[in-house]
Amino acid sequence: MSETKKPRSAAGSYRARGKDTYEVRYKGESTTVKAKNDQEAARELAKFITRVDEGKYKRPAKMTLQDLSIRFLRDNPDLSEPTRENYKIHLDKRILLALGHKKIDKITPANIYDFLNNLKEDGIRADGKPGGLSPATIQKNFHILSSMLAFAVEMGEIKENPCDRVKPPKIPKRKKASIDKDPAREMLRALANESLKWRCITLLGASTGERRGEVLGIGDKTLDLVNCVIYVDRASRHMKGARVVFDNPKTETSKRAIPFHPSLVPLLQAQIDYRNKQRDKCGDKWHNQIEVNGEMVYNDLLFTQWNGKPMHPNSVDTWFSKFREDNNLPENLTFHGLRHTNITQLLKHGVDVGTAADNAGHAKKSTTLDYDDPDIEALRQVPEKANEAFDLENIVPDLINLPINIYRKREKKAQ
């Protein structure tokens, strides 16, 4: 078979490699093209030269999505350890099973749409329940896949992220569960039947709007009983193997100082005193260290298990679901719903949107409008507004001089 080269070899060359196949070369780059003769090969070479000169040519990637996932989880500096573990679960469970074998430069928007549509199909759920995955779970899978391919673009492995040409799945907007001030006050009064730890945790959730993990991250260094301020700079995270660690809160704006109403001080002091007595009682059995941002530090947590071990974040939801049933609270109200209740009541009692957002640690006060730095003077008024909403100064005193631990036999619901 004859080999034909373009006369100006410095500008590139081509040669026949097989039936209707030519190799074109330019500036150390080469690729195989379809061409029936030298004339067509010359035209393909001209196109190739243009792509190389304009920076649009990318060598075919040898990396599969499986290979990329390893580098993504290992080398991406933006991923925290909890996020890595969460991503790996989704990758192993579905994404890599469907797309792991594919070369990343061969993944198309059509492949991604097929994957997302498959997640909607009946029988895809691991728990055997009918129907497909929830919109939130499907969106999570899409987000992880898109993040990985964006990482590949940053590394220069592919030119563009095919997910950019895919419309992400939408999550139907749901009204956030919260309760009005009167049922909220009744709920707080019902805490008289609960142990001290749960009284404190629930009051903090309702009156300050802290997230579950933020409440469990409160310790001696972050709690100022003199100035009635909680400094939020860590939150609990559940890791693989039942390990609980503490790292930075959800977002950068989640790091904040939250003022709380003075009526909570005696209750929080009682919890501190109980924690200290329990630590002395346990002696060597007490867990003296916790993991914070990857380092082992002294355990100053306010809320722990009996031996000082960090509480599992899900234990808050488990307890609250039983508390909700016992007190006939709305079925869709979760512990996180106390946060929504707090924000709603602050707004109803005259706190401006920006201040409520600052207090809650939201990155935005609406879906479109950014807000400025926290107004310290406005934040100082938040505890009194919370008191107006929840009647803290009258309810909390009745929750102080009660037994530390209250054990109640809960009746099982009739089948």
The per-residue DSSP string of 84-138 comes to: HHHHHHHIIIIIHHHHTTSBGGG--HHHHHHHHHHHTSTT--TT--SS---HHHH
Res 363: pLDDT? 54
What is the pLDDT confidence band of residue 119, given thresholds at 50, 70 and 90?
very high
- As a whole number of angstroms, the distance between CA 345 and CA 347 comes to 5
- As a whole number of angstroms, the distance between CA 384 and CA 345 comes to 12
Residue 158: pLDDT above 60? yes
Q: Measuring CA to CA, which residue among 47, 17, 13, 10 is closest to residue 32?
A: 17
Instruction: Report the pLDDT averaged over residues 40-63.
Output: 86
Res 218: pLDDT? 98
Res 22: pLDDT? 87
Q: Which residue has the higher pLDDT, 411 or 328?
A: 328
Q: Cα–Cα distances in Å, from 255 out to 55, 211, 361, 389?
A: 43, 12, 7, 25
Instruction: Report the pLDDT averaged over residues 234-241.
Output: 85
Biggest CA pair distance of the chain: 99
Query: What rounded mean pLDDT belongs to the chain?
Result: 87
pTM of the predicted model as reported, rounded to 2 decimal places? 0.71
Question: pLDDT tens for residues 160-180?
Answer: 999 999 998 888 777 678 899
Question: pLDDT tens for residues 126-142?
Answer: 888 888 999 999 999 99
Residue 341: pLDDT above 90? yes
At 3, list the tokens. Answer: 């080999």
Non-local CB neighbours of 183 within 8 Å, separated by 6+ positions? 329
Question: pLDDT tens for residues 296-324?
Answer: 999 999 999 999 999 999 999 999 999 99
Count how many residues are written for the chain.
Answer: 415
At 352, list the tokens. Answer: 């401006």
Res 294: pLDDT? 86
Res 238: pLDDT? 86
Question: pLDDT tens for residues 397-414?
Answer: 999 999 999 887 655 555
Residue 277: pLDDT above 80? yes
Residue 369: pLDDT above 80? no
Residue 181: pLDDT above 90? yes
Range with lowest mean pLDDT among 112-121, 159-168, 235-244: 235-244
Range with lowest mean pLDDT among 77-91, 96-110, 343-357: 343-357
- As a whole number of angstroms, the distance between CA 408 and CA 358 comes to 38
